[in-house]
Structure 1
Amino acid sequence: MTITHISLATVWVTDQDEAKAFYIDTLGFEEATDMTMGDGYRWVAVRHPDHPELEVTLMVPGPPLTDEHAEAIRRSLASGDNPGLGVSTDNCQQTFEELEAKGVTFVQPPAERPYGVEAVFRDNQGNWCVLVERTEYDGSEFPHA
């Protein structure tokens, strides 16, 4: 058995149409799938054009989750502190300025980190996303106990 790569990641959303528009129109992703399956279940996925092997499904909390789990995710989205994606950029400051001009809410402007320049923004569903311009590092800035 050989696993070759990650092919699917899930981002929780409350409105698939709004989320799809944000990821496509604001972040530059493209539609991968948008179809309704049995019992009205809708599968919506986007992908970055440079990495078609990784699809991001925009999933509404519901079955097969328990009602309690789905409600916990909805509360986390409503509070704006649900973890989302990490995305890479060649120029964090420039991308920050471009996204901010499009109305994206940043909770952290670009800041120097040992591993590069990092900013944190929220998508339009309440997920926070990390934007990183990576630099070479050896991890020595993060000693282990």
Structure 2
Amino acid sequence: MAHLGLIAVLVREYDEAIDFYVGGLGFDLVEDTARPDGSRWVVVRPPGARETALLLARASSDEQRARVGDQTGGRVGLFLHTEDFARDHARMAAAGVRFLEEPRHEAYGSVAVFVDLYGNRWDLIQPRSAE
């Protein structure tokens, strides 16, 4: 069966994106390889993730730069699942991650919207089945 391997996220610069995703969100840096054209192949993923990761793709044209931080038209576009919402919310907030709301406890689980360093909206979510 097929699986989703990588999701590209447009970034301004590689190192600032690595700092946020690894330092702020606690992701693992899986790969950072220089390419002959001057770009880099940078892959990060949450600890323990096996199949899906993010490709941090530096915007290389005016059209791409215009989309950095608004890849989903202002909607939440990425969902970071956790087994311990309180722990991860506290760790991320202490690392400077900006949450747009206080944690909510909904029928489907605990959730809070945060933004990455460019403004892309994410949900930190602990599904009810994991609570």
TM-score by length of 1: 0.75
Structure 1 pair 36–128 and aligned structure 2 pair: CA distance change class (3 A): same
User: CA 1:20–1:71 in structure 2 vs 1: closer, same or farther (change >3 Å)?
Assistant: closer
Aligned-pair RMSD on alpha carbons? Answer: 2.4
- Indicate yes or no: 2:118 matched with 1:125: yes
Aligned residue number for residue 116 of structure 1: 109
Q: CA deviation at 1:8?
A: 0.8
Match of 2:59 in 1: 61
Aligned partner letter, 1:23 = Y
Q: Distance in 2 between matches of 1:126 and 1:71?
A: 13
Report the CA distance between 1:22 and its aligned residue. 1.5
> Which residue, out of 45, 66, 71, partners 1:72?
66
Structure with bigger gyration radius: 1
Alignment of 1:1-145 (within 5 A): 2-3=1-2, 5-62=3-60, 67-68=62-63, 70-74=64-68, 76=70, 81=74, 83-136=76-129
AA at the equivalent of 1:60: R
Measured at CA, do residues 114 and 28 of structure 1 come closer, stay the same or move farther in structure 2, by a change above 3 Å? same
SS in 2 for 1:34: strand
| Runs of 5+ unmatched residues, structure 1 | 137-145
Work out the percentage of aligned pairs sharing the same amino acid. 34
SS of the residue 1:109 aligns to:
coil
**Count of residues paired in the alignment:** 128
Instruction: Kindly indicate whether the alpha-carbon contact (under 8 Å) linking 1:122 and 1:128 is maintained by their aligned counterparts in 2.
Output: yes
Distance 1:127 1:114 in 2: 25
Quote the Cα distance in structure 2 between the aligned partners of 1:74 and 1:49.
25
Which runs of 5 or more residues in structure 2 are unaligned?
Answer: none
Q: Is the 8 A contact 1:46 1:56 kept in 2?
A: yes
Deviation at 1:83, TM superposition (A): 4.9
